[in-house]
Structure 1
Amino acid sequence: MSNIDKIFEDVRLIHDKILFLNTEKMQKALAGYTASEVHCLEYIGKEEDVNVTKLAEHFFMTRGAMSKISKKLTTKGAITSYKKSENKKEIYFELTEEGKRIFDIHEGLHAEFRKRDEHLFEAIPEDVLEKVESFLTRYNEHLNTEIENKK
């Protein structure tokens, strides 16, 4: 197995193990919301002027799929829509109090999970973490280019 193949295998295994460790607690704390809905709330809570197009591009989904998710979140009272005075056509989303509650629970769980693993990351030299981050950034940029070329 090449180094690159080993890296991809390790990343997949790490992802699977993180899901295994975190999913049950997430599902209990965020009952009534799917992972896709929670991640949409996270994005809406962190970004400005989020609309269906921005959601679709961020999550690599169709606008139709994002419209369905946003309608479910509106029905659950987690988001509300608004229009800007300069553009009455475009619909944007913002979190309601319920949406902020779910957002805060989700952020808190992520902080808890990071704290669980903190001792490992503190033991890794900063220059090693910088190299890993640099590699991941470069690879992510490459994938962005590939996605753009596919459009």
Structure 2
Amino acid sequence: MWNQCETYGELLQSFDEGYELCYQYDSMPHQYGKEILYQSEMHFLQAVGDNPSVTITVIAQQLGKTKSACSQMVRKLVKKELLIQERNEKNNREYYLNLTKRGREIYEAHKEFDEKCMQRTYESLTDFTEEELRNYISVQKALNQVFQKDVDENGVLEVAGKKKKK
């Protein structure tokens, strides 16, 4: 039993290291051609590029963000001239989102970069069997379920003596 606990501790330590590296990577600005963007901005552009004429409501659902957060991102990307909003002629309250020419260039450059990263990752995992990779996926899914429970159970903040749901 002790060995299993030790291995579990090592697994969580390794997970935490991976999380920290992903967090650092996502938090830093990245250069795409002449444009410097944060990952959240690029992910938003990617979602629009993958789904031309998408609405804020749909993109919010896809990205798991609020419509308010997506509206802020739209304003930021429109200001950078990477995204355009086009009013839906049948519903004046709804706008379609599309990439500008420059936004499309960045989207394509990012797509190329992602493919190179995926290839590098794939090559680094070729020594693992399919069974080992499937076992990893199973372990990660089990961890994700526990992490989701942690989020659900601890999703309350103390704000000036009042409990507020996240």
User: TM-score higher than 0.5 here?
Assistant: yes
Q: Do 1:26 and 1:106's aligned partners in 2 also have CA atoms closer than 8 Å?
A: no
Q: Normalising by structure 2, what TM-score?
A: 0.65
Range with bigger deviation, 4-13 or 109-118:
4-13
> Shift in Å at residue 73 of structure 1?
0.8
Counterpart of 1:100 (choices 104, 108, 111) is 104
The aligned residue for residue 131 of structure 2 is 127
1:122 is paired with a residue whose SS is coil
Gapped runs of 5+ residues in structure 1? none
The aligned residue for residue 65 of structure 1 is 69
Counterpart of 1:113 (choices 117, 133, 138) is 117
Range with bigger deviation, 84-93 or 20-29:
20-29
Aligned residue runs from structure 1 range 16-95, under 5 A: 16-17=20-21, 26-27=30-31, 29=33, 31-47=35-51, 49-95=53-99
Gapped runs of 5+ residues in structure 2? 154-164
- The one-letter amino acid paired with 2:60 is A
Q: Do 2:29 and 2:36's aligned partners in 1 also have CA atoms closer than 8 Å?
A: no
Distance 1:51 1:143 in 2: 31
Is the alpha carbon distance of 1:147 and 1:39 closer, same or farther for their aligned partners in structure 2, counting shifts above 3 Å?
A: same
Note the alpha carbon deviations across 1:93-131, whole angstroms, 9 max, x for none: 111221111112212222222333333211111122233
> Shift in Å at residue 41 of structure 1?
0.4
For the aligned residues, what is the CA RMSD? 3.8
Q: Normalising by structure 1, what TM-score?
A: 0.70
**Bigger strand fraction:** 2
Structure with higher Rg: it is 2
**Bigger helix fraction:** 1
Q: Do 1:26 and 1:109's aligned partners in 2 also have CA atoms closer than 8 Å?
A: no
Q: Percent identity?
A: 20
Distance 2:149 2:23 in 1: 28
Range with bigger deviation, 104-113 or 52-61:
52-61
RCO comparison, higher one (Cα < 8 Å, 6+) = 1
1:38 is paired with a residue whose SS is helix
- How many residue pairs get aligned? The number is 151
Is the alpha carbon distance of 1:146 and 1:41 closer, same or farther for their aligned partners in structure 2, counting shifts above 3 Å?
A: farther
